[in-house]
Chains A and B, each alone.
Chain A
Amino acid sequence: MSKGPRAAGPLWRTGALLVALGVLAPVATLIWLAAGSDMAHWGHLSQHVLPRAALNTAVLLAGVGTIVLLVGTGCAWLVTAHDFPGRGVLSWALLLPLAMPAYIVAFAYLDLLHPIGPVQGAIRWVLGIDSPRDFRLPDLRSMPGAIFVLGFVLYPYVYLTARAMFMTQPAHLMDAARSLGETRLGAFFRVALPLARPALMVGLSLALLEALNDIGASEFLGIQTLTVTIYTTWVVRSDLAGAAQIACTMLLIIVALVLLERHGRSGRRFASVRRMQPMRPRRLHGLSAAGATLAAAVPVLIGFVAPAAYLVWETVKRLQQGGGVSHGLLLSMGNTLGLAAGVTATAVVAALLVTWASRHTGAAANRARWQARVASLGYALPGTVLALGLLTPALSFDAFVGQALGLQGLPLLGAGVVLVAACAIRFLAMPVGTLEAGLARIPAALEQAARLLGETAAGTLRRVHLPLLRPALAAGALLVFVDAMKELPATLLLRPANFDTLATWLYAEAARGTYEEGAIAALIIVLAGLLPVVLLARDPLGAATPEGNP
């Protein structure tokens, strides 16, 4: 077989390899940092810091995992197997919390559920109690509070995968179980649930990776998780080696979660070959219909409607008081858009490199597919871990270049190059996923035809593939853009001095407890976050799942 147009050129292959190495570099740096430092730190950390942070993280993940599985699976079954008033709206509205970063929801609920805030005030009014001292809900700043917030923000990951599974499950399997003497509930537990289990594992691991990445919500709510501990060990105590050692501990949890996800994705060998009639939803009446509507509405209310309404209310109040929008907020909005644009361009070009190199069969393409898989692993790395792994090489590079060229300051870090790289690494899986799906739909014959008509490889990409890939590129770019706008942990650690994004602006306000323009910043982030949710709602089987399909 001739090589001809099949294998990608050496330039592409090298580019793809570089992208994969770029994703692996921070992990290698971390391990080197952790192992190379003196172990006195480690002794102190492993005795006084790590056990509590690890226990907190474990409890948090267990609690969040329970909530996302119960709420996500329950709601998915409710809207796919039943018909009740509001089902059509609710089946996509249940995705809305995806637009809400956890730190924004935590920020909103701290005020909403404050002892003298609207919710507790209303409860006291209903019960006829005058003083906050006589009646008070448990404090949100607690482990149960953090589990509540993260659980109701992250359940859509499970909901999305479970719903796709239930929607494609052939109806006759449930009928068969019924005809063999099983009740509706029994058939759910013995047939529908076991069949959906691989999909549930995928959703669960994605939700838990997000929970692990979270820094804002845990910190606002006062939970010392591993992520928060890395941040404080590094920033407050300036102990880089110690932070790297904690990060390495965290890598173990991440590897376990990624393996769980891979296991779930490979466990779909049951998938029916033939296209079969999907389940016909059963119509509910009376009380059970009302109960179903309520049950599916509660997660939307908690995870989206209440915090979003709070943000709108606070924004309107702020603008009416004539406060207007400060110069600083406008500046951070510009910074946010610039950062997101830079990250999007970087990630899309990198994704194009790795997917194009792996588009055909052959040994070189197989190697390239491995690189694509490695390159897509960045989504699993929490922003703090990623930042920690990139900072040291960047600092040495800056020192070297600074000395060589006689420059002042930090050329890479100061220009935000490292921050853009960190975000691009973290979000690379999304454009890789959409581009792989897009390329798979373009027959090889098109490329062969173009080459036989005298076009070069690069010309074929430009004149044939890029136009055909435009929807995939746009979807991937949108997903990256919005996630880069929301990104908090890596931005906090890697941003240049005096550089604020909307997310860090909000973080600073919440940390100070000032609550001035934080709601405006949050509202802008949420509005941007709604765009990809609309995209997902229109494409229910999730060709563009949040983390792509690596």
Chain B
Amino acid sequence: MSVRLELDDLSVVYDGARDGHPAVAGVSLSLEAGRIGCLLGPSGCGKTTVLKAIAGFEPVRAGQVRLGGAVLSGPGVHVQPERRRVGMMFQEYALFPHLSAAENVAFGLRRQPAPERRARVAELLALVDLADAGERYPHQLSGGQQQRIALARALAPEPALLLLDEPFSNLDGATRERLSAEVRDILHRAGQTAMLVTHHHSEARTLADDIGTMHNGRLTDWAAAPR
């Protein structure tokens, strides 16, 4: 199900950036199927821009994004975000406030027949340990519960790759420790390839198999995390 992610000399320049200064410059890396990668760095280092380029929200200036060998972004190529099979967990969770937790999880399953969709939603709610919370609306959930619903929603359509943008930044220290270990287990059990960005070293060490550090739009290293 999950596949390998490759970034090849990736560069991103924002419209109207002063003197065409790139937000991301020549980033190359390879993440094997089923592993969790992490880009670590301070805010403004370009790590979130890399995620947006992989998701297809930001066009690339040069280089390639490849998923399972297929080019998603590159010179003259830009696969629309909805056709990439790339899931994303957003920093503020981005739960749809007008939909219940179960409806949020079901959002990406529209093309499945109703019985299968219901079964899949129940399965995912159980996976994130919120089987009873399906009827509740996002504003009725705690921060940690919202975060787990966001994870369930991103996993529901079985994405080839899952992106996590500062997934624990809104939680306090103790909850963060507990949830990052939980999320790591959920992802490994599902054999899910995932890429995470964060500025917390501890989070990176708990979650990731491969860690790279970003600085000024460049990736300075990329290696397996010490165990």
A positions within 8 Å CB-CB of B: 170, 172-173, 175-183, 186, 190-191, 194-195, 269-274, 276, 283
Contacts and interface: CB of A to CB of B under 8 A. Distances in A.
B55 A194 contact: no
B94 A180 contact: no
Interface size class of chain B, counting residues whose CB lies under 8 Å from the partner chain: 20 to 34
Nearest to B165: A172
Contacts of B98: 194-195, 270
B38 interface: no
A175 B90 contact: yes
Contact of A179 (B91, B110, B154): B154
A87 to B, nearest CB: 15
B80 A176 contact: no
A184 to B, nearest CB: 8
Given A177-B107, A178-B82, A270-B98, A172 B92 contact: yes
A209 to B, nearest CB: 26
B15 interface: yes
Across chains A and B, which 4 residue pairs bring their CB atoms closest together, nearest first? A180-B108, A270-B97, A172-B94, A176-B94
A88 to B, nearest CB: 15
Interface in B36-91: 55-57, 80-83, 86-88, 90-91
Contact of A176 (B90, B111, B139, B157): B90
B139 to A, nearest CB: 7
A305 B157 CA distance: 50
B91 A172 contact: yes
A181 B108 contact: yes
A173 B150 CA distance: 12
A190 B139 CA distance: 19
Interface string B5-29: 0000000000100000000000000
Given A180-B108, A182-B82, A283-B15, A175 B94 contact: yes
A178 B81 contact: yes
B153 interface: yes
Given A172-B91, A172-B92, A190-B107, A179 B86 contact: yes
Given A179-B154, A183-B80, A170 B86 contact: no
A315 B3 CA distance: 72
Contacts of B110: 181-182
B82 A183 contact: yes
A273 B90 CA distance: 16
A170 B97 CA distance: 11
25 contacts: A170-B92, A172-B92, A172-B94, A175-B57, A175-B94, A176-B90, A178-B57, A179-B55, A179-B82, A179-B86, A179-B87, A179-B88, A179-B163, A181-B82, A181-B110, A183-B80, A190-B107, A195-B97, A269-B139, A270-B97, A270-B98, A270-B139, A271-B97, A272-B97, A274-B92
B206 to A, nearest CB: 24
Contact of A276 (B56, B92, B96, B154): B92
A173 B96 contact: yes
A293 B88 CA distance: 34
A179 B81 contact: yes
A180 B156 CA distance: 9
B225 to A, nearest CB: 26
A186 to B, nearest CB: 8
B96 A176 contact: yes
Given A179-B163, A180-B87, A272-B97, 7 more contacts: A175-B81, A178-B80, A179-B81, A179-B154, A180-B108, A181-B82, A191-B96
B171 to A, nearest CB: 14
Nearest to A180: B108
A176 B156 CA distance: 13
Interface of B: 15, 55-57, 80-83, 86-88, 90-92, 94, 96-98, 107-108, 110-111, 139, 153-154, 156-157, 163
Contacts of B90: 172, 175-176
A370 to B, nearest CB: 28
B81 A173 contact: no
Contacts of B153: 176, 180
Max chain A Cβ within 10 angstroms of own Cβ: one of B55, B80, B108, B157 = B108
Contacts of A179: 55, 81-82, 86-88, 154, 163
Of B91, B107, B156, the most chain A CB neighbours within 10 A belong to B107
A180 B159 CA distance: 9
Contacts of B108: 180-182
Contacts of A283: 15
A38 to B, nearest CB: 52
Nearest to A274: B92
A283 B111 CA distance: 30
Contacts of A175: 55, 57, 81, 88, 90, 94
A273 B146 CA distance: 14
A180 B153 CA distance: 8
Give the residue among B55, B92, B98 with the most A Cβ atoms within 10 A. Answer: B98
A395 B47 CA distance: 76
A430 B83 CA distance: 49
Contacts of B91: 172
Contacts of A176: 88, 90, 94, 96, 153
A173 B94 CA distance: 5
A292 B11 CA distance: 31
A270 B138 CA distance: 9
B113 to A, nearest CB: 16
A186 B154 CA distance: 18
Contacts of B83: 181
B203 to A, nearest CB: 20
Contacts of B88: 175-176, 179
Contacts of B156: 180
A272 B90 CA distance: 15
Nearest to A270: B97
Contacts of B157: 180-181
A180 B107 contact: yes
Centre residue among A170, A179, A269 by max chain B CB count within 10 A:
A179
B93 to A, nearest CB: 9
B3 to A, nearest CB: 17
B168 to A, nearest CB: 16
Contacts of A178: 56-57, 80-82
Nearest to A190: B107
Nearest to A175: B57
Nearest to B97: A270
A276 B94 CA distance: 10
